[in-house]
Chain A
């Protein structure tokens, strides 16, 4: 059964600090992995997409990594801002024509001033 596990479940950091969120998956055959940011009361917004051959991808202060061999991904946030407070969701899709991706439960990040 395809699964996506995210850790930690929740995280509290001070503004300006860095943090790293983890995503482990068992989805196979692998197509791509996305990180989404979901602000409270809003729909998710895609931050990055990574395919099998990509190891690192950045979007501003967000940097995602992918190790397809160990089936692990991380999202690193640099110099956190109050606006980074949100839920971060890891989503993994498989090849083979399926429209149904596998979602993680998300990591709830709170950035305090």
Chain B
């Protein structure tokens, strides 16, 4: 499989549930990102990992917990979410972290919090 893959593609969860989103990149990149895309709002960068080290946390609430076990995999652990957290969560990767590196996006996970 090529590019950036994300699972699941759709997720419905209650506010008391714990779930995880998974992202895998097959491009040999060293940087990975989590984004949130809400309706009618710009894409919001949540986290940046470079060589498995978190280099940016864009003021994200602690109910979102990222994990990067290696340069090919990125997880977003979710717990006690709110309905306003319902959104499309996009994962991306790039050769290196930084503004000049093209980011390649996965298809996203559509999350609904009830």
Instruction: Give me the interface of A with B, judged by CB distance under 8 Å.
Output: 4, 31-32, 34, 41-46, 49, 89, 91, 93-95, 98-106
B interface: dominant SS: loop
Minimum-distance CB pairs A-B, first 3: A43-B105, A93-B99, A103-B42
Determine the chain A residues whose CB is within 8 A of the CB of B55 once the complex forms. 99
CB atoms of B4 and A43 under 8 A apart: yes
A43-B90, A43-B105, A99-B97 known; A104+B58 contact, CB < 8 A: no
6 more contacts with CB within 8 A, not counting A4-B42, A89-B42, A100-B48, are A41-B108, A42-B108, A45-B105, A46-B103, A99-B97, A105-B42
- How long is the Cα–Cα vector from A4 to B90 in the complex, in angstroms? 20
B17 to chain A, nearest CB (A): 24
CB-based nearest B residue for A6: B42
- How long is the Cα–Cα vector from A46 to B55 in the complex, in angstroms? 23
CB-based nearest A residue for B100: A32
User: CB within 8 A of B99: which of A89, A101, A106?
Assistant: A101
